[in-house]
Amino acid sequence: MDPLIPINIVVADRAYRIKIKPEEEEDVRRIMKEVNEKIIEFKTAYAGKDMQDFIAMALIMYATHPVTSAGKAQASTSPLLKEKLEHLEQLLNSQLG
């Protein structure tokens, strides 16, 4: 089994420490950058909503649309990505709820 490495990711200006396989680091960081960009887009488009709404909207949009950057496979077919998004959602709910 490959050793997991700890990394810090930031979602909507909050840091979270997760453990991933070293070969996944680039993809995880790219995905988190895209998610944060979507959060900013939603925040600009829908002023007055709660930050948790923006996070949820961005993650739902990301989980239901294919990943087009660098010819990656569709996010909706990746069980690993779904698992990580569910874990991230649980972390957010525990912090914001």
Q: For 18-61, what is each residue's pLDDT tens digit? A: 999 999 999 999 988 988 999 999 899 988 788 888 888 888 88
Neighbour count for residue 59 (Cβ, 10 Å): 19
Cα separation, 61 vs 58, in Å, equals 5
The residue with greater pLDDT, 9 or 89, is 9
**66 by DSSP, 3-state: which?**
coil
pLDDT confidence tier of residue 92, bands split at 50, 70 and 90? confident
0.75 exceeded by the pTM?
no
Mean per-residue pLDDT of the chain:
81
Spell out the domain ranges in the chain: 5-96
